[in-house]
Amino acid sequence: MLKEFKNFALRGNVMDLAIGIIIGGAFGKIITSLVNDIIMPPIGLLLGKVDFSNLYLNLSGKPFASLADAQAAGAATINYGLFLNTIIDFLIVAFIIFLIIRQVNRLTVKPAAPAEPSTRECPYCYTEIPVKASRCPHCTSELMPVK
């Protein structure tokens, strides 16, 4: 059973998956930093010096100066600012993955060759007939072979 597990774990697909998860985690941290440190501060500045990571609804009824104070006091909060940051994280990651997959598909997927037509039109009665037909089954006209 140990040998079977070793064969499974060292197969190419499992190793590729592990590497993908590790790189994905690191990429997620980069995107989170991009959103929190680069994208959201200018947007917050344009919207009246708003810090999105500090936007929350206090459900406890007691006033708190910041989200950190409310969390330190154990107050129930709805952290919609953090949720907005997470949505932007997701949209950026999804868009980048879309671009990567689109490029991979362009490089690997070859366009299918157009299929040879299996029918043609009779030049006399204009009905559909098989390409290899030498006589039209509808009007019985003799047909020239298709080249």
For 88, residues 6+ apart whose C-beta sits below 8 A from its C-beta are 35, 39, 40
Q: Is 48 strand, coil or helix? A: coil
Ranges of each domain in the chain? 2-108, 114-147
In this prediction, residue 147 has a pLDDT band, given cuts at 50, 70 and 90, of low
Rounded CA-CA distance 127/18 in Å is: 59
Whether pTM exceeds 0.95: no
pLDDT band at 18; cut points 50, 70, 90? confident
Segment 67-83, tens digit of pLDDT? 888 889 988 888 888 88
Please state which CATH number belongs to domain 2-108. Answer: 1.10.1200.120
Of the chain, the end-to-end C-alpha distance in Å amounts to: 63
